[in-house]
Structure 1
């Protein structure tokens, strides 16, 4: 399975109610572990959004495969209340196979920050699902020498460091954001969602249920009448209309929509998303800057705008031509 060509590239495998997992190989992180696929097994840091089975069921298999292939135990970060339950599950699996499965389980809460490396950190944010849930933002961390020290010889810089002088500015840039399951309430609370809206890559889930012609129901979608929007709110998901009305808020370079229902075809979902989120441009200069991808199971596609409607034919003038 090829990576989705975002920057940085992401791998996504997700079907609503069955399995969900996203990983960023360049950052050594995965989000949710509903399925263990391709290189998800080599990610040392796994962040679980919530306790629904399609988001966490493959965690024991992930840990066991790493152990089988001689890798060190991964660290699994999850809402704190899930840790004792997952500990019991790991004990049960270990008893069934008559050998211990090693896994490091760490509870996190909204506001928790995990440093993956000097250049990568992940922060947890409270989302709005029907059970307690977290979304995550992976940040790229960079250091640049403060202006007043630029040009100084290395020996002088070294002496300043020994005096504990702060020589560098540290910048955190939201690189990949992952919502897990959430309803529109989350995207209406700017203090919680600001870094999700401006991350280079936003992965958010959009399962579809009901009549596809009326409803795209997901962590981003129910389409159609207002009662469907209410249903989406009740179940902790997003209605596609809700997402479409707020597209102007999303300044991400890439938006990845996923977690669609298995009852619909790849083509039907693609057509629906294109129709709702990428209307034809009004003129030649009205082009979308953001790239939108749809990920369904182990397939993905970049959505493309339909062509502009043809220009109306020129109306012949009745005025006589002057010679």
Structure 2
């Protein structure tokens, strides 16, 4: 009898939530990396598939190997392929260890790979695109950890000055009057590995267009395991969707021990029916592919209707 072929690598998970592609791999204890190409950011770097190299920034939630294993490879390949120096944002307590990691590779490779490292703490921000910042917030895990939310900041004329002539607005501004205010629009929130905590009460997290959160445990008897490992259980997600205004809640970090069909069934059982269409499993390739095919068909139909109207 012939031996079996080697197991194939998991397919990249993919969801499209206009205008963002959410793509990556996330398997508890093995590897996690979630890439949003439109925003030039990859959350965690436990895997580094070729598309992820295009991310100018990596937002590292914590140092566990399944989230951080490809740090050096990401920096090295960005440099090797002429893509520019990569930038990693990390918890401030990881700054020195990551420098040590990169220095160790100098001895291994006999060359120095360029990299940028930015330590972050609670509420720190970094502008990653024009008027879009990456904001860090504290989470609760077994090691120092952060979540991240991408926020667009729009300048808007204050209501009391709407309708005034341009000359008057220039005069007020020259006189030191603040005539505009900044409105924040949360775009993408990513929690990384975390237990339930006050970060799930943050407006920028709960009102993000897309909320990407771990959900390691789904089975009814796994509440204690979730608590010990400081992870989320599906029961937490069921509560979360009642408060979140997210267009899409994307669940990551499922254990390989949970078959995807079981995960779907648990979601159908635990998530309130009126919220179920908003909740997605990143690694549910079949369901997500069907969803995307329906989106493509709808877009083609809309395009045909528009062309006919012209």
TM-score computed with the length of structure 1 as normaliser: 0.77
Structure 1 match to 2:135: 123
1:83 to 1:299, Cα distance in 2 relative to 1, 3 A = farther
> Residue 288 of structure 1: CA displacement?
3.8
Query: What's the secondary structure of 1:141's corresponding residue?
Result: strand
Structure 1 runs of 4+ with >4 Å offset: 147-165, 297-300
1:138 to 1:51, Cα distance in 2 relative to 1, 3 A = same
Residue among 229, 232, 235 paired with 1:241: 235
Q: Which of the two has higher C-alpha Rg?
A: 1
Residue among 81, 86, 94 paired with 1:82: 94
Say if 2:264 is the partner of 1:264.
no
Alignment map for 1:14-53 (pairs within 5 Å): 14-53=26-65
Between the aligned partners of 1:115 and 1:164, the Cα distance in structure 2 is: 26
> Residue 130 of structure 1: CA displacement?
1.3
1:86 to 1:298, Cα distance in 2 relative to 1, 3 A = farther
1:303 to 1:173, Cα distance in 2 relative to 1, 3 A = farther
Identify the structure with the greater helix proportion.
Answer: 2
**Cα contact 1:29–1:45 (8 A) shared by 2:** yes
Between the aligned partners of 2:270 and 2:145, the Cα distance in structure 1 is: 27
Query: What's the secondary structure of 2:75's corresponding residue?
Result: helix
**Cα contact 1:293–1:303 (8 A) shared by 2:** no
Structure 1 match to 2:209: 200
Query: What's the secondary structure of 2:119's corresponding residue?
Result: strand
> Residue 295 of structure 1: CA displacement?
1.0
User: Tell me, which stretches of 5 or more residues in structure 2 are unaligned?
Assistant: 1-11, 292-310
> Residue 88 of structure 1: CA displacement?
1.1
Query: What's the secondary structure of 1:67's corresponding residue?
Result: helix
Between the aligned partners of 2:235 and 2:276, the Cα distance in structure 1 is: 20
Say if 2:220 is the partner of 1:224.
yes
Alignment map for 1:278-293 (pairs within 5 Å): 278-279=272-273, 287-288=274-275, 291-293=278-280
Structure 2 match to 1:107: 119
Say if 2:148 is the partner of 1:136.
yes
1:70 to 1:8, Cα distance in 2 relative to 1, 3 A = same
> Residue 61 of structure 1: CA displacement?
0.9
Q: CA RMSD in A?
A: 2.7
- Number of matched pairs: 279
Structure 1 match to 2:8: none
**Cα contact 2:13–2:282 (8 A) shared by 1:** no
Q: Deviations over 1:265-311 (max 9, x none)?
A: 332322222222254xxxxxxx448611111287762899xxxxxxx
1:297 to 1:251, Cα distance in 2 relative to 1, 3 A = closer
User: Tell me, which stretches of 5 or more residues in structure 1 are unaligned?
Assistant: 208-216, 280-286, 305-323
